[in-house]
Amino acid sequence: MLRRMSAFVLRLIAPRPTFAFDMSEEEREIMSRHAAHWQPYIESGQMVFFGPVLDDTGSWGLAIVEVDEEEELRTFAAEDPVVKTGTAELCIGRMLQGFVRPRLS
């Protein structure tokens, strides 16, 4: 039987709508560290989705993560290089209901 974990949505609020297209070299390096920071969640299979989104407001980041402990996720997110450097803001929301596909083995 599969145990249900809580799912969370993370939205990375970029410093400007064009961020995905015009990052400085320093911002690009910080974004590289940002991706590396989340690698443990990707490798564990807890990261359902992680990546940039383009829409009519510009670019922003989206992640969906399954975890047991919300506080652990919030503490980990606070250590993200984009947060620590002030490059971007991470907003976290808990998904109350919904369908999550079974994890692929």
* Nearest one of 2, 8, 6 to 65, comparing CA atoms: 8
Q: What is the pLDDT of residues 11-64, one digit of tens each?
A: 999 999 999 999 999 999 999 999 999 999 999 999 999 999 999 999 999 999
Q: Does the global pTM surpass 0.95?
A: no
DSSP for 9-65 reads EEEEE-SSTTHHHH--HHHHHHHHHHHHHTHHHHHHT-EEEEEEEEETTEEEEEEEE
> 32 with 25: CB under 8 angstroms?
no
Predicted confidence band of residue 10 (pLDDT cuts 50, 70, 90):
very high
Predicted confidence band of residue 98 (pLDDT cuts 50, 70, 90):
low
The distance of Cα 95 from the centroid of its chain, to the nearest Å, equals 14
Domains of the chain and any CATH numbers: 6-94 (3.30.70.1060)
